[in-house]
Structure 1
């Protein structure tokens, strides 16, 4: 499993609209992509225009080759791009440790 982590900055006062756009975009576009597992969106307490979008994929290739560069990715971006104050910062992570709850 690969975790895609996107650091997102929105325009002030558009948080509610952005959150709705992310939900709609993930549920209608990204969730249909091969390898998609789960997502979560978190808003910063200290900086309410800043968000972290976490998307779990089966593999790095499912995101980078199977989703990016497709019409689905263009559709996703058309839904959320109007809310971005700057370009998102995106990285991918492997799990190396976890707590045993």
Structure 2
């Protein structure tokens, strides 16, 4: 399994609208993507315009190729993109260890 970690910064004062938009985008768009396994979203306490989005994929290619090159990506960006203060920083990780 691959973890996609996106560090998202939104425009000030848009938190309530973005909270709704990201949850809607995840449940109606991302959830339909090939290889999608689940997600977590955390919002900043000290930095309320900062969000950390974690999406779990079967493979790296499920995100970087199958999703990014599909119409679903455009749908996703149409929902969340207008809130971005800057392009999200996105990286991918493999699990090394975890607690029970």
Q: TM-score, length-normalised on structure 1? A: 0.96
Match of 1:18 in 2: 18
2-structure distance, mates of 1:93, 1:16: 29
2-structure distance, mates of 1:70, 1:25: 15
The count of corresponding residues between Structure 1 and Structure 2 is 100
CA deviation after TM superposition for structure 1 residue 35, in Å: 0.6
Matches within 5 A, 1:38-49: 38-49=38-49
The ranges of structure 1 where at least 4 consecutive aligned residues each deviate by more than 2 angstroms after the TM superposition are: none
Alpha-carbon RMSD across the aligned residues, in angstroms, is 0.7
Match of 2:53 in 1: 53
Matches within 5 A, 1:15-94: 15-94=15-94
CA deviation after TM superposition for structure 1 residue 7, in Å: 0.2
Q: Deviations over 1:48-80 (max 9, x none)?
A: 100000000011111111100211101100100
Q: Which runs of 5+ in 1 are unaligned?
A: none
